[in-house]
Chain A
Amino acid sequence: MTVETSTAAMIKASEVNKFFGDLHVLKDINFEVPRGQVVVVLGPSGSGKSTLCRAINRLEPVNSGVIHVDGKELPKEGKALAALRADVGMVFQSFNLFAHKTIVDNVMLAPLKVRKQKKPEARESAMQLLERVGIADQSEKYPAQLSGGQQQRAAIARALAMRPKVMMFDEPTSALDPEMVQEVLDVMTNLAKEGMTMFVVTHEMGFARRAAHRVMFMADGEIVEDTTPDDFFTNPKSDRAKDFLSKILTH
């Protein structure tokens, strides 16, 4: 391991293993994501995609191996870990907007409490972000009053408000009604175009083809294929990837 590679990579996982009891969920995971790259992670249910995603900001601690984010090893706990998480944006399948706060307060909370921004400043950038994801007119509503697509866009704005170095998405559109999927993918595609480093677990093949630089295919806790989207979709090497593709492409 040289210094250059670890400073160049935004995310670097080395020999990462994770168990849930006896279940070996992540098996010797190794990869690097360079700055500005958009990675789409694919794989059948239970293959460990969410666990990997959550391991990267230590929402799920791993049993062995090392994860670096922007050249820094993940801190175990405390202030340093919180500081790292502030730099890693996370978007969940179930949105997880704070139910008791308005949309704009959701977006402002962490800039105020973690980044210690002044209120007018935080509010202004929150409104700009909501504008950017197209829901500025919903800013004073509560999450439950918004559609799923709007909630997910608000959740993306909330993550972006911390000016993260990298954005993680764990199936951001799977909980949405079909007609709302595109509005969220559009926001993500724009983000990719702007050069954000993105790690996206999704089954949206259109997004993978259009916006991703790279596809990682996981099965049974292993990264089975790691290649360009084009190569993966037209020329899958492993049987498991072929099987997986035949199943989702017939949908």
Chain B
Amino acid sequence: MVDDLAFLFDKYNVVAAFWVTVQLAVLSAIGSLIWGTALAAMRVSPVPIMRGFAAVYINAVRNTPLTVILVGSSLGLWQTLGVTLAGERATEVNFRLAILGLVAYTSCFVCESLRSGINTVHVGQAEAARALGLNFGQVLGRIVLPQAFRSVIGPLASVLIALTKNTTIAAAISVAEAAALMKTMVENEAHLLFLVTVIFAFGFVFLTLPTGLILGWVSKKVAVKR
């Protein structure tokens, strides 16, 4: 068993593959939080066009399978339209497109979580802010969203954990992340199937478990007392 493990780690660069997974997950998480917050702001904005855009975007993207989004951005954006996101080599282009697709998709769920958080903020909070002369952006950015975020850290943790697991779909556009390597290993080392599976399952739990624990702790820490 230990020998097999040593053999696998020797022959395959498991750590490097997981490092790509981590990069995909972290960069996509940052992007999704930003774009998801922007979408939530649009959904509650007084401008009908923005509300409409956000609603259509979310309903369209959220209901499209992630595989379709990722393959679509590789084949459609890159191969057909020539969008490379300033990447030069194919691996670079696909890595960046994978992040783009993951952000586009995950931000829908960030937005919907945040929106339910916004609903937990008492209307009096926004009214008091408006009555003091704060403008829409200030009311949202200073009063409503900070309280909304605090109340949805739990659900956001689930979204980020799902994102981490969803990075495996980037293998579909040949990004060399963990799942891509697992596929290769399963094909080449069929006799060690069980061990390979355990390695990768453990790897993902190792990545996602702290996310849940840390955010659970943060959530308790910053909870708004009412």
Residues on A facing B (Cβ under 8 Å): 57, 59, 79, 82-88, 90, 92, 94, 96-100, 109-110, 113-114, 142, 144-145, 155, 158-159, 162
5 pairs across A/B with beta carbons < 8 Å? Answer: A59-B127, A79-B135, A92-B124, A114-B138, A159-B131
The 4 closest A-B pairs by CB, nearest first: A86-B133, A144-B225, A96-B128, A110-B132
Are A109 and B132 in contact, with the CB atoms below 8 A? yes
Taking Cβ atoms with an 8 Å cutoff, the residues of B that contact A are: 122, 124-125, 127-135, 138, 142-143, 146-147, 150, 224-226
Task: Report whether over half of chain B's contact residues are helix, strand or loop; otherwise say mixed.
Answer: helix
Q: Contact partner of A82 among B122, B134, B143, B225, CB < 8 A?
A: B134
Say yes or no: A113-B128 contact (C-beta < 8 A), given A85-B133, A96-B122: no
In this complex, the member of B127, B132, B142 whose beta carbon has the largest number of chain A beta carbons within 10 angstroms is: B132
Instruction: Provide the bound-state CA to CA distance between A83 and B135, in Å.
Output: 9
A162, B127: Cβ atoms closer than 8 Å:
no
- A57, B131: Cβ atoms closer than 8 Å: yes
| A residues in contact with B127, CB < 8 Å | 59, 92, 96
Q: How far is the CA of A162 from the CA of B133 in the complex (A)?
A: 9
Beta-carbon contact of A110 and B133 below 8 Å: yes
Closest B residue, CB atoms, query A84: B133
When A99-B225, A100-B224, A110-B134 are in contact, do A90 and B150 touch as well, CB less than 8 Å? no
Query: Is the CB–CB distance between A88 and B131 below 8 Å?
Result: yes
Q: Are B224 and A158 in contact, with the CB atoms below 8 A?
A: no
Instruction: Collect the chain B residues with CB atoms within 8 Å of residue A97's CB.
Output: 128
Contact A96 B124, beta carbon cutoff 8 Å: yes
Contact B138 A59 (CB under 8 A): no
The answer for the CA separation of A159 and B132 in the assembled complex, in Å, is 7
Q: Whole-angstrom distance from the CB of A132 to the nearest CB of chain B?
A: 18
Chain B residues contacting A159 (CB-CB under 8 Å) are 131-132
Q: Least Cβ distance of A70 to chain B in Å?
A: 14
Q: CA–CA, A96 to B128, complex, Å?
A: 6
User: A106: nearest residue on chain B (CB-CB)?
Assistant: B128
A98 touches B124 (CB 8 A): no
Q: Given A100-B147, A100-B150, is A162 in contact with B132 using a C-beta cutoff of 8 Å?
A: yes
Q: Contacts of A90 on B, CB cut-off 8 Å? A: 128, 131-132
Select from chain B the residue with minimum beta-carbon distance to A113. B138
Chain B residue nearest in CB terms to A111 = B132
Expressed in whole angstroms, the Cα–Cα distance for A113 and B141 within the complex equals 12
C-alpha spacing A113/B124, complex, angstroms: 19
Whole-angstrom CA separation of A86 from B138 in the bound complex: 13
Given A57-B131, A94-B122, A144-B226, output 4 extra A-B contacts at Cβ < 8 Å: A59-B131, A82-B133, A92-B128, A99-B226
CB proximity of A112 to chain B, nearest CB, Å:
10
State A155–B128 Cα separation when bound (angstroms): 9
Is the pair B146, A85 in contact by a Cβ cutoff of 8 Å? no
Please measure, in the bound complex, the distance between the C-alpha atom of A17 and the C-alpha atom of B36, giving whole angstroms: 41
- Among residues of B, the one whose C-beta sits closest to the C-beta of A86 is B133
Distance to closest chain B CB from A194 (angstroms): 21
For residue A59, which residues in chain B have a CB less than 8 angstroms away from its CB? Answer: 127, 130-131
- Chain B residues lying within 8 Å of A98, measured Cβ to Cβ, are 125, 128-129, 143
- Do B134 and A142 have beta carbons less than 8 Å apart? no
Compute how far the CA of A144 lies from the CA of B129 in the bound complex, rounded to whole angstroms. 18
CB nearest neighbor in B for A109: B142
Measured between beta carbons, the chain B residues less than 8 angstroms from A83 are: 133
**What B residues does A79 contact at CB under 8 A?**
135
Q: Enumerate chain B residues within 8 angstroms of A110, measured Cβ to Cβ.
A: 132-134
Complex-state Cα separation, A208 to B6, whole angstroms: 85
Closest to A145 in B: B225
A114 close to B134 (CB less than 8 A) = yes
Q: How far is the CA of A85 from the CA of B126 in the complex (A)?
A: 13
Q: Taking the nearest CB of chain B, how far is it from the CB of A145, in angstroms?
A: 8
Instruction: List, in ascending order, chain A residues with CB within 8 A of B128's CB.
Output: 90, 92, 96-98, 155
Using CB atoms, name the residue of chain B closest to A90.
B131
Tell which of B125, B127, B131 has the most Cβ of chain A within 10 Å: B131
The answer on a CB contact under 8 Å between B125 and A96 is yes
Q: How far is the CB of A72 from chain B (nearest CB, A)?
A: 14
